[in-house]
Amino acid sequence: MQTYAFHPADKTNKAMKTTYSGNFFRPDTARYHIVMFAVSAGLILIVSLLQRSPVFTEGHIAGFILVMLQVELFTWLGIQFFRSLPGESGKDVTRKILKRFIWFYLTCFVASAIIFTLVTGGLFLLHGDSLNGLFPHLIHRELKGWLIGTNLGLLGGTLIFFYVQWNDAMKREQQLREENLIFQNQTLKNQVNPHFLFNSLNTLSSLVNTNPELAEQFTGKLAQIYRYILENNAKDSVMLNDELNFVQDYFYLHKIRDEDKINLTIDIPDTNGYQILPVSLQLLIENALKHNMATRENPLEIELQIEDNSIVVSNNLQPMATLPQSVGTGLKNLAERIRLSTGKELIVENNRKTFTVKIPLLL
């Protein structure tokens, strides 16, 4: 079975390898390590000039090693703390980054103490001194200078790191707003299109003469569908229960036209207050209907259920001989919105018998 996280644009996959593809904090590149080496060496050179002492002394070499180890470790810790930030409002993002910032600072402080102790212990062993005097030496001779230097360096570094991450979050929020506008426009074009409207009106026209009562129900459902799209398309999320009702109304129109050729099963006994991106489920239902054949002998079966805080939409695969030119466009747009809104990926599974899409739900 083929399983993958659906990335909206293949050409950006390499750029999305880490969250930090657009800024300086890229420890996966040689350039970063070269710069860190140069910065560490520069700091030691400045200290030696201020002290008017030779550069290549044992103390300066130890200081260089200490700075390099701390910078590399702190950057790695920063990535672990800040690499996944949900796309929420500015206040929420700022609050969450501040909380992580505090934990990041405390963790780095403890790590710095451990590194400093190990480096100093290494010097003791190099000189043949007993380690029994290590901690008294650290407390009485090194503690004050280490506290001042570490706190100043750590505070400056973490503030820079915090600003970079906060700025990235604001850019991501702006990108989400832009993607939402694009998605809203595309959704309206997809839904209010001549093909869909022509089929619906054609079905309605035949029902008016053959089954007036059903024609009235059909008209009501059609009106509810467009009302839902116009009222909710601009929202960031809607209640899952509302989206399911909308999907059932949308499917109802197709069911009347296709009779026993298509079936929709919603195995969701309780929505548990979940929220979801508006019109997202309808897009997947539409894709299944558009790209698969359906006959009375081999009906198209579509099933919805909840699994691990995601809603799973699956259908049996009965591909048409000729697929529409827009294959994948809707999924790419949806995947981009989900990635920007939740920080998670749209999961697609295809085992050649069943096509399954998993949409992360909002709590």
* pLDDT value of residue 357: 94
pLDDT: is 315 or 260 the higher one?
315
Residues 215 and 148 in one domain: no
Of the listed ranges 9-18, 73-82, 320-329, the least confidently predicted one is 9-18
Residues 93 and 197 in one domain: no
Task: State pLDDT tens for residues 123-132.
Answer: 788 777 888 8
CATH code assigned at 199: 3.30.565.10
Distance CA 100, CA 162 (A): 9
Residues 240 and 153 in one domain: no
Residues 273 and 310 in one domain: yes
For residue 325, pLDDT beyond 60: no
Residues 133 and 46 in one domain: yes
pTM: 0.52
Residues 154 and 197 in one domain: no
Q: What is the average per-residue pLDDT within 252-256? A: 85
Residues 89 and 153 in one domain: yes
Distance CA 160, CA 178 (A): 27
Classify residue 178: in a domain, yes or no: no
Task: State pLDDT tens for residues 174-201.
Answer: 777 776 656 655 554 454 455 666 777 7
Residues 114 and 212 in one domain: no
Residues 31 and 164 in one domain: yes
Distance CA 115, CA 66 (A): 7
Classify residue 6: in a domain, yes or no: no
Would you say 352 and 317 are in contact if contact means Cβ atoms under 8 Å apart?
yes
Q: What is the average per-residue pLDDT within 19-35? A: 58
Classify residue 232: in a domain, yes or no: yes
Question: Which residue in the block uniquely carries the two structure tokens 């309206």?
Answer: 188
Classify residue 103: in a domain, yes or no: yes
Residues 240 and 269 in one domain: yes
For residue 358, pLDDT beyond 90: yes
Domains in the chain, number: 2
* pLDDT value of residue 363: 77
Residues 201 and 141 in one domain: no
Kind plus residue range of the DSSP H or E element containing 358: strand 354-360
> Structural domain of residue 62, as residue ranges?
15-172
Q: Calculate the average pLDDT of the chain.
A: 76
Distance CA 27, CA 75 (A): 7
Question: Which residue in the block uniquely carries the two structure tokens 């030691």?
Answer: 44
Classify residue 214: in a domain, yes or no: yes
Distance CA 336, CA 17 (A): 15
Task: State pLDDT tens for residues 145-156.
Answer: 777 777 776 776
Would you say 253 and 207 are in contact if contact means Cβ atoms under 8 Å apart?
no
Residues 94 and 210 in one domain: no
- Local structure of 159: helix, strand or coil: helix
